[in-house]
Structure 1
Amino acid sequence: MTLPDAPLSPAATDRTFQVDLRGLVDLLSHHLYSSPRVYLRELLQNAVDALTARHGLEPSAPADAFGIRLYADGSVVRVEDDGVGLTEADVHTFLATIGRSSKRAEKIAEQRGDFIGQFGIGLLSCFLVADEIHVLSRSARTPDAPAVEWRGRGDGSYTVRTLPASARSRPGTTVTLTPRTDAGEWTRPAQVHALARHFGSLLRHPVTFDDGTGGPGAPVNPEPAPWARTYPTPGARSRTLSAYGEEVFGFTPLDTIELDLPAVGLKGIACVLPEAVPTGRRHGHRVHVKGML
């Protein structure tokens, strides 16, 4: 028996996935991020990585030559850094492609192990508290480089403009958010300052916070880690480390044990519980990677 020939199917065509950005952000908020507060951690993380790249370009610059400035007055949240900045090509490549990290590019820096995060996914966290992200950047790699403005919106659209260098007087990046009305819990000035202290108190770059009231910016990380400071007496060191352990873990340590393992890059303290550990008690750890919680 002869079977009839099967009808010819139309030629196959390649297509790209369509991304529902609002749906993706909702997915991130429920399964990847612990709460909307992580938006500030991600912005700080990006700023720190940009500063790391800037120091790679200018290794002779003092450690405190470049910094991070935060601003929140209830109507906007702004994070500004003196980092390596972005060109227009970088903006199209890294800000408009979800999941692509500028830290993977050779043109940003070769010391990839020095970076903390990935800009491509971290910036999405800002949509947890705002419907629009405004980025103004100027690259430090080219003298008199123009400024680039990028506006990303929660509906998945974005616009890019090239502006005169005078639009940003020096290299670096400024990210500005206009919070949604339901995001006040995470974007009011006192909370932004508290989150900056929580995530960035041990950062090695100078970080300041301005609440828009006209006063001087408050330092977010005024002192190095307690175990990295110089103390007048061993007793003063012991008391400070114990107080830090109590602040972090909520109990007065019986003793503190200093940890310094250069082979694995570990430095800090272990706090000894004052009583036997109850069955089922939750373990507590506080880990900073390159100064970022």
Structure 2
Amino acid sequence: MSVQKETLGFQTEVKQLLHLMIHSLYSNKEIFLRELISNASDAADKLRFEGLAHPELFEDDPELRIRITFDKDARTITLCDNGIGMSRDEVIANIGTIAKSGTKAFFEQLSGDAKKDANLIGQFGVGFYSAFIVADTVTLTTRRAGQPASQGVRWTSKGEGEYTLETVERAQRGTEIVLHLKEGEDELLNDWTLKRIVRTYSDHISIPIEMKKGNSYGEDGEVIVSDEFEAVNEASALWTRSKNEITEEQYKEFYKHVAHDFSDPLAWSHARVEGRQEYTELLYIPSRAPFDLWDRERKQGVKLYVRRVFIMEDSHKLMPQYLRFVRGVIDSNDLPLNVSREILQASKDIDAIRSGCVKKVLGLLEDLAENDKTKYADFWQEFGQVLKEGVGEDFANKERIAKLLRFVSTVSESDVPEISLSDYIGRMKDGQDKIYYITADTLSAARNSPHLEVFKKKGVEVLLLTDRVDEWVVGSLTEFDGKKLQSVAKGALDLGALEDEADKEAQKQVEEAAKPVVELVQKALGERVEAVRATARLTDSPACLVVGEHDMSAHLERLLKQAGQPVPEGTKPTLEINPEHVLVKRLAEEQDEARRTDLAHVLYDQALLAEGGKLDDPATFVKRINKLMLELSA
């Protein structure tokens, strides 16, 4: 066998993470064992799954286990598993780099405050690297199941800037990790401490975590040292136990294992479903969003088991995209053990399981929204934009999802979305039959939009929608509880019963009186607009732009252009002018045609800028403004 030994450097992000972790997480150093055990458990799950199609991978050793030993003299702790193991390339990919989306965002959010950074590190997940919290040197020896003994790999590092990698002989499949403890960590070198840590953090692991039996004493007081191993954890899948046998702490620790998260979950649902399909679900809602939440190709999600055998984790059939933040397990008694992704795509059983689990999650959120508004506000802050996607993706549950949506409105006292559509309807004015909203890039832009002026005057509440996904929401949710959703920036203003006959008569008179100035502006703007009309929509602003009732909103058009998406051509806005505004009156009185044209274009460009639009020709706009200012000051 040719021994290959080389020294490689860590990826830059790994160096940063190691440094931060050692200094930020030291106060909770016991988690190193939990993380290493979770990795070993995952390796066992992967072997079970691959072994379904390739039973030879078990290599005459089908009993999966994790073993923990320690050596007081050498000051080492060793954790060994007989799971899937790793090849040389896998060691480099999994240990030398952080192949995880969101890495850049993670490091950008680090503040230098150890306590705050510890929470961020926990959200990001540290896994194997947590070993360096207590060890100054770590040696990992592994061989992938199915490869010859000569293909063992040994990885060694002091956690500073580099690591060594060499090919070694290893008869046993799986992975062995030896931690050479730092000075001052000797308290970990006894079986009582290690067993306590295992039972506290990893009791739920479904394969045995074994340690040597404690010493016993003979009749003459002689110490009898035992070399036998015994399981120190429950070693049964937590979700299979009765709910009244599981403590809240055990639920939380299982979440941390299955989600690779440090934070406690926000809420969870645990149920056994019987009937046409029999399955158990244990589903969690995290308290913090992962850094790869917006990566729709991400792998992690709900784990599928069949009769306690892990099958897969990456399956969009188990949970819809808008619930991609959900973590947990689904264990079916009815699916075949050789289930594949292709079978899942066409399985009615899976469809029924998914439907049932979606209803459980939505029920869990409804309970939070009704009975724990503080927790629900925390949830919305982290996952609200993702849940909104469900309005367009899940027709069957659209109404339930709509009730869970939260918004800021013109009556909000803060920028925190906390108003539901039901809240809005409960405050509607007498005679109001629509839910009014406006979409904009920011809350400030929405609050100051000219389109809101008449609504503020009449005390009518308007929802302020500023998330990018909101255009998708209002495109799919056209009404709620019998009330139509109406953009205040689309179509001619129609306040219905909110306008009395005097208002309508006054508007007719204004429109009639404004016909000459409307014609002047229409002539000046020409092809830039679909039409020009006088409006009662405005009280303080001279003009605003509106689009047709069924046309794409200006906000959505901007979003599509920013994303490089094609935008339908030929749609032009309508310019609505306020005949009572001094600028419009000045334009009506202007006798010089060139100056009148400049004023009309300035009106249009200002209206475009007021709603967050971008000028096609900023230089000409500036020239017109400068010219008008000079003429006025002359």
Q: 1:118 to 1:73 in 2, by over 3 A?
A: farther
Structure 1 Cα separation of the partners of residues 65 and 123 of structure 2: 19
Q: Which moved more, 1:62-71 or 1:72-81?
A: 62-71
Q: Deviations over 1:118-159 (max 9, x none)?
A: 999311111110111100101114355511111011222211
CA distance change for structure 1 residues 187 and 127 in 2, over 3 Å: closer, same or farther?
farther
- Which segment drifts farther, 143-152 or 60-69? 60-69
Equivalent residue, structure 2, for 1:266: 282
User: Distance in 1 between the 2:92 and 2:130 partners?
Assistant: 19
8 A Cα contact 2:239 2:281, kept in partner: no
Partner amino acid for 2:156? R
- Residue 7 of structure 2: aligned partner: none
Query: Which residue of 110, 122, 133 maps to 1:128?
Result: 133
Q: How does 1:188-207 map to 2 (within 5 A)?
A: 188-207=190-209
Q: What is the 5 A alignment of 1:52-67? A: 52-59=45-52, 65-67=63-65
- How far 1:246 moved relative to its partner? 9.9
> Structure 1 length as normaliser, TM-score?
0.61
Q: Deviations over 1:3-62 (max 9, x none)?
A: xxxxxxxxxxxxx985683x6434224556761111101110110111111111112769
CA RMSD of aligned residues (A): 4.1
Q: How many residues align?
A: 218
Query: Aligned runs of 1:233-248 on 2, under 5 Å?
Result: 241=244, 245=247
Q: 1:149 to 1:187 in 2, by over 3 A?
A: same
Alignment-derived partner of residue 69 in structure 1? 67
CA contact (8 A) 1:179 1:187 kept: no
What pairs up with 1:138-177 in 2 under 5 angstroms? Answer: 138-144=143-149, 146-164=151-169, 168-177=170-179
Separation in structure 2 between the aligned mates of residue 17 and residue 120 of structure 1, nearest angstrom? 16
SS of structure 1 residue aligned to 2:28: coil
Does structure 1 conserve the Cα–Cα contact (< 8 Å) formed by 2:144 and 2:174? yes
Q: Which moved more, 1:27-36 or 1:173-182?
A: 27-36
Unaligned runs of 5+ in 1: 1-15, 102-116, 230-236, 250-257, 268-287
Q: How does 1:91-130 map to 2 (within 5 A)?
A: 91-97=91-97, 99-100=98-99, 121-130=126-135
Q: State yes or no: 1:220 paired with 2:232.
A: yes
Determine if the alignment matches structure 1 residue 28 to structure 2 residue 21.
yes
Looking at structure 1, the residues matched to 32 and 43 of structure 2 have their Cα atoms a distance apart, in angstroms, of 17
Structure 1 residues 189 and 149: alpha-carbon distance in aligned structure 2, compared to 1, 3 A threshold:
same
Is the contact between residue 72 and residue 210 of structure 1 (CA under 8 Å) also seen in structure 2? no
| Offset, 1:219 | 1.1
Q: Which amino acid aligns with 2:128?
A: L
- CA distance in 1: counterparts of 2:42 and 2:250, whole angstroms: 26
Normalised TM-score (structure 2):
0.30
Separation in structure 2 between the aligned mates of residue 78 and residue 31 of structure 1, nearest angstrom: 24
1:86 Cα deviation after fit: 1.0
Q: Distance between the aligned counterparts of 1:54 and 1:191, measured in 2? A: 30
Q: What is the CA distance between 1:214 and its match in structure 2?
A: 3.3
- Pick the structure with greater CA Rg: 2
Letter of the 1:197 partner, please give it. Answer: R
Return closer, same or farther for 1:54/1:183 CA change in 2, 3 Å cut-off. Answer: same
Q: Deviations over 1:177-226 (max 9, x none)?
A: 01112222345432112111212212111220137953422312245368
CA contact (8 A) 2:154 2:165 kept: yes
The alpha-carbon deviation at position 100 of structure 1 amounts to: 2.8
Distance 2:90 2:207 in 1: 24
The one-letter amino acid of 2:69's match is: Y
**Quick one: structure 1 residues 169 and 118, their matched pair in 2 at CA, closer, same or farther if it must change by over 3 Å?**
farther
- 2:271 is matched by which residue type in structure 1? D
Distance 1:33 1:76, change over 3 A: closer
Larger RCO, structures 1/2 (Cα 8 Å, 6+ apart): 1
Instruction: State the alpha-carbon separation in 1 of the partners of residues 41 and 239 from structure 2.
Output: 22
Residues 241-273 of structure 1 deviation map (CA, whole Å, 9 limit, x = unaligned)? 47x659979xxxxxxxx9415688228xxxxxx
Give the Cα separation in 2 of the matches to 1:17 and 1:156.
Answer: 9
1:43 maps onto 2:36 in alignment: yes
The whole-number CA distance in structure 2 between the counterparts of 1:49 and 1:35 is 23
Determine the C-alpha separation between the residues in 1 that align with 2:124 and 2:153.
17
Q: In the alignment, which residue of structure 2 is the partner of 1:4?
A: none
Amino acid at match of 2:65: G
Unaligned runs of 5+ in 2: 1-9, 101-121, 215-224, 252-268, 274-278, 284-326, 330-634
Q: Which residue of 2 aligns with 1:81?
A: 81
Partner Cα separation in structure 1 for residue 167 and residue 123 of structure 2: 24
Question: Tell me, what secondary structure is at the counterpart of 1:59?
Answer: helix
* Partner Cα distance (2:201, 2:328) in 1: 11
Instruction: Quickly say closer, same or farther: Cα 1:18–1:49, change in 2 above 3 A.
Output: closer
Structure with bigger helix share is 2
1:10: which partner in 2? none
